[in-house]
Amino acid sequence: MSLRVFSSFWIFGLVNNVLYVIILSAAIDLVGPTTPKAVVLMADVLPSFICKITAPFYIHIIPYNVRICVLVFLSCTGMIIISLFDNVILVLLGIVLASMSSGLGEITFLQLTHYYSEISLHAWSSGTGGAGLVGSFLFMLMTTIFGINPQVCLLLSSLIPFVFIGGYFYLLPERPSADNHPEELEIMQEGDLVAQPKLQPNSLEDHIRSTLLRLQPYLVPYMGPLFTVYIAEYIINQGVSPTLLFILDDMPFHHYRDAYVTYGTLYQLGVFISRSSGAFIKIDRLYILSALQVVNLAACIFQSLFVWLPNIYLVMILVFYEGLLGGLSYINTFRLVTERTRLSEREFAMGCVTISDSGGIVVAAAVSMLLEPSLCGYQVSHGRPWCRQK
């Protein structure tokens, strides 16, 4: 039973996030070297964020099996559109559909962990980390090493979401009753439990007000740190890393775009390792991870401006470290939500806290659309024009 639960949630995490990663890995191919890659990031995350921020008001009325079917439809349709059309508007539409699927999927599967043992959360987190590694590595392998057309890779990826159907309907054991959840409430100290306001909604206005009140206890201890970490790391990924370049002869690549794809793979490797460490590395002071990621962002910006690291291999280490911090923040945030939230509120809490990561990415995308051109312009004016070359 435990093996089936672990396998199911690992697959859910992998499949739900892999298309998101592939799209970001393909950003430089979709928009070219002169357009900020954050344009793709914004299209890839804003619809997901809107889904997450509105979901607490309606998601409870949609059965899980219906959600699975919607996920498959949205993601498959989105990837087919992205791969078959060159029109920027249609490409962005495809990205939007895939993004909506990713956001709905993260809410769905995090809430679903409420009905299973703690191993389901660790498996989901590890699977999402694996998605980053698998998606970015396969895209780098097929496009950078084997020279396959990126559009072909994107079209093939449209088949991946069908794995949801097998994972949910055939591999995952039947959901137990929430009343029989294996984690007993009494093992936690009363002071650790998040108190929830009791307000019975009798109208739409009351429902909205009660939902917002239920959200409040999670804002500072959980959502704030995760929000900060995601702002910093996605500014690095989309706003700074495209400018962390050296002359081509000093890098192990044939094209400048290969550096961006490689950075993405190293970042995702760090995320995979740290998201898989939830059972071994437990960090309760989440703002420590936030502070370290902000410092890392500053270090990367200084590298872009002043080249204080002498070669690309040291920059690769910095990007890998960024991934480690991001993954640790993710798994420890949701672990603490699981441990410190009343059993009756845990399903709601897992769904609403995920708003913070997408919210952070949206802010990062907005900042990066201005930051990358500014950093690139500075480099060009100082005799380093590589950020505008393919």
Average pLDDT of the chain is: 87
**What angle, rounded to 10 degrees, do the helices at 119-140 and 2-25 form?**
30
**Which pTM value belongs to this model?**
0.78
Residue 65 lies in a domain: yes
Per residue in 311-368, pLDDT tens?
999 999 999 999 999 999 999 999 999 999 988 888 889 888 989 988 998 999 899 9
Angle in degrees, CA 50, 112, 169, rounded to 5: 105
The set of residues, in sequence order, having a beta carbon less than 8 Å from that of 182 and lying 6+ positions away, is 116, 117
pLDDT of 196 > 70? The answer is no
Say what the pLDDT of residue 194 is: 52
pLDDT, tens only, 46-73: 898 899 889 888 888 899 999 999 999 9
Mean pLDDT of 255-274: 88
Kindly state whether residue 267 falls inside one of the protein's structural domains: yes
- Per residue in 114-156, pLDDT (tens digit) is 888 888 999 999 998 888 888 878 887 888 778 888 889 899 9
Report how far residue 8's alpha carbon sits from residue 2's, in angstroms, rounded to the nearest whole number.
Answer: 10
Q: Is residue 185 in some structural domain?
A: no
Q: What is the pLDDT of residue 30?
A: 80
Instruction: Extract the tokens encoding 22.
Output: 């592939």
Mean pLDDT on 195-217: 73
Of the chain, the percentage scoring pLDDT greater than 90 comes to: 51
In a domain, 181, yes or no: no
Q: What was the pLDDT predicted at 175? A: 66
Please give the structure tokens belonging to residue 167.
């994972």
> Which of 24, 48, 55 lies closest to 103 in space, CA to CA?
48
| Residue at 182 is within a domain | no
CA–CA distance, 203 with 137 (Å, rounded to integer): 50
> Would 256 be classed as within a structural domain?
yes
The domain in which residue 207 lies consists of: 2-175+191-388
pLDDT score of 200: 53
The domain tally of the chain equals: 1
Is 354 part of a structural domain of the chain? yes
Is residue 223 pLDDT above 90, yes or no? yes
Question: Could you tell me what percent of the chain has a pLDDT over 70?
Answer: 92
CATH number at residue 133: 1.20.1250.20
Q: Which tokens in the block code for residue 16?
A: 């739900």
The reply to whether 143 falls in a domain is yes
Residue 308 has pLDDT above 90, yes or no: yes
